[in-house]
Structure 1
């Protein structure tokens, strides 16, 4: 993407970083708003560099995901507590929550200690740690703190599209699937993959381009307004290979089976 076009994308979508930073900072104490904003801005620039419009995903949605993950990583880096302290704080908090639900009131330190089989001093330390620290965002019970930027109805549409695209990637032929995941999900370069696979740079680029075309065909066929069978495929694969791809995609989820099979028959 030309530098000018990339910069324009960044400028037009800076509000994503601002809104996400404000959302997180308003809900968590002991975090640096400046550090969050810097991490989010860097992620936005990287998103503009990696963005591929041919995948059919709006840049706003693509960038929003990158910014959210960047803020999560930044929050993890701010977590001062060693793992054993995080575990103690999380376990103590969980027991307190369980007892609160069972008793209908906040349990005493002695009650928590008795339930955990530890002394009251350990409980007090665990509760104090929980108050001071940011619990790991990887914890199963951790709250979702990152702003999505969607209205409820927009979130539903975006979630369905993301789910469909994930299934479409999963249904790709093995090598094409590996290349798409590596480049777009793991930020690996074409050169890295060429060295790993023992093939030329051009070979990986061709596989990537064809995989993108197949994904585009899947998205176009599923979301097309035109009558079934009237959407011309962009893929250069044979009709039988494309039909096999659509069938794999259909078998990946009942919500999409009828639409994709119908399109595959018309392919």
Structure 2
């Protein structure tokens, strides 16, 4: 009963704001949906360095929530929560990017690993091992794995940041949201998103089994890296390395497929 009452109240707030431009209704919508911001900020904070404050992420995310409320079209066949989460993530990522807190050396190392992975996959026709990657990069296996940890500690939203597709309103839609969203898509986006989903699905299918499992548990089952480590019986830092390798492999494959 309480849920129904809340749904009716929200519909009334949406109508008052979108029809009459009622700013009080808009403010109440921000309050009503603010738990979404805390959820997204908490999820992202778990993968960021300790000096990044969750309170800061929440403030960045509120900008995205307000923008989502202002731009949301009630006629769209998509749940507001799905739309808002994408914009909240985007606002947080944009702010972190503008602060430019990821060292250039780490970004350069990530690109170097992507290029080496692409080259070796062509040569070997399979995913290269840590030893093969280390040899290609002319570093020890330990140095390669340390690089993966540095990249992991500096990453922002991982897969959510890597691939976005434009929707008909010009907004960026997180690919992972399109993969897991059950609501009806806009017809104009179906072909592009289907092609992109197929390419990602193919890239994930070609990952080594443990990396594939980490991706599934992290992005689809919403487990933390620590929880995945407990499931697989290895340390959190090892899971962090596997996750980063998977992300860099997927990124290099998608970039390559876009160029062909």
Give the TM-score of the pair, scaled to structure 1.
0.43
Larger Rg belongs to: 1
Give the TM-score of the pair, scaled to structure 2.
0.44
